[in-house]
Structure 1
Amino acid sequence: MTSPTPPAEPTYADRAFRSPAGLVGGVLLILLLGWMGIDAMFRGSGRVPWLALAGLLTIVPLIVAFTLRPAVFANEQRIRIRNPFRTITMPWTSVVGVRARFSTELFTQGGAKYQLWALPVSIRQRKKAARQQTRKSQDDPYGRTSVHADVRDAKARVADSDHAVADLQEMVERAAAGGAGGAGAVEVRWAYEVIVPAVVGAVALVVLLAVG
């Protein structure tokens, strides 16, 4: 008699956290540099086309790494941090907490610290949220809720990065309480698809400049 097959571990959809400003800025930079580089490759003379090609091969992967690539994917089991040059995956049971001061950082049980590039801290946005909170408290010093108040105002008075950090910290606390979190070790994978082209382009650029 065959033993029953154990039920498969349930899967949960990932929540993605990214920087909209970084995405927009990265796309605009790539379009601008692409237009300039392609124009130099087709209209330039001598070594100019090769210099343009090497420059694009060096700079474009770096722009992708620092603007389009950073992201944080989280579900009830684990978190995956995609930084410019590496991807870190770990279960929530390995995470101690998430903190946002001058940068957003994740701390693990082993004492390691990882920066979340996808959640940059905007001091300007944080000050704006603080001013909104101060103005709201001055309008109603006794903390009473008006019948005309919109509950969405509470989220509007919190910086976007702080709101994302609060969501991630909530997942950490659920895992600590035994309600979530998978098993496994911390996995780190280097982004060779970004590193290799940038290094090749930089070496080619140095060689072209040296022989010129």
Structure 2
Amino acid sequence: MTSPQPPAEPAYADRVFRSPLGIAGGVLLLGLTVWFCVDAMIRGAGRTPWLALASLLLVVPLVVAFTIRPAVYANEDRLRIRNPFRYITLPWASVADVRAGYSSEAFTQDGGRYQLWAVPVSLRQRKRAARQQARAAHDGPQGRAAGDTGRLAPADRTIADLRELAERCAGRPEAQGEPRVRWAYEIIAPAVAGLVLLVILLAIG
């Protein structure tokens, strides 16, 4: 008789970090770009529709790449970074540190450095958090105990969470491996096609 198998360990769902302001700005820019270019394609004469089409092919992927696309996914096995033009997968054992200075970055054991576009650093928010911490310290132990971690700037709080995951999970067998990087050709290809078409149209004048 076969012995019953122990229940499988529940999978740790990805935590997703994105920039809501970046996404909102990207959607607005996309709307304006599509509006102007489609209007030029419909109403324009001569080369104007082709120039509008080339501009649309060039601008839309770039707007998506820098505003809507960036995201950071983290679970107990790895950190996945979706930057404007690259996908980066970092098993926790390969991560040496995660820091936020003027930008948020992950550093690997082999000396690699990868920016986290989805976790922008706001110096204004950091200064505001520092003022809140100073007021809490002035209020004494009770003020300091009332959610010190909650007084961090959003980017610093995210980086603290990612660093804690890296330190806690680096020893897991599933968290071993080397960094993997690949290009986002679905963004690069249409942008290059739009640029080439725009250059050709301008060259033949």
Return the TM-score normalized by structure 1: 0.87
> How many residues are paired up?
200
Alignment of 1:24-103 (within 5 A): 24-103=24-103
Q: Is the 8 A contact 2:77 2:91 kept in 1?
A: yes
Return the TM-score normalized by structure 2: 0.90
Does residue 201 in structure 1 map to residue 194 in structure 2? Answer: yes
- 1:121-146 residue CA offsets vs partner (Å, 9 max, x unmatched): 111111111122223333x1xx2316
- Write the distance in 2 (CA, Å) between the matches of 1:97 and 1:39: 49
The root-mean-square deviation of aligned C-alpha atoms, in Å, is 2.2
- Write the distance in 1 (CA, Å) between the matches of 2:46 and 2:9: 60
Superposition misfits of 4+ residues, deviation over 6 angstroms: 7-10
Q: Is the 8 A contact 1:102 1:121 kept in 2?
A: yes
Which structure 2 residue ranges, 5 or more long, are not aligned?
none
Displacement, 1:197? 0.3
| Identity across matched positions, percent | 61
- 1:119-173 residue CA offsets vs partner (Å, 9 max, x unmatched): 11111111111122223333x1xx2316xx994x534421110000000000111
- Write the distance in 2 (CA, Å) between the matches of 1:181 and 1:104: 25
CA, structure 1 residues 39+209, in 2 after alignment: closer, same or farther (shift >3 Å)? same
- Letter in structure 2 aligned against 1:165: I
Which structure 1 residue ranges, 5 or more long, are not aligned?
none
- Write the distance in 2 (CA, Å) between the matches of 1:180 and 1:166: 23
Of 163, 188, 191, 2:184 maps to 191
Displacement, 1:12? 2.1
- Write the distance in 2 (CA, Å) between the matches of 1:204 and 1:9: 53
- Letter in structure 1 aligned against 2:42: F
2:13 is paired with a residue whose SS is coil
- Write the distance in 2 (CA, Å) between the matches of 1:109 and 1:181: 17
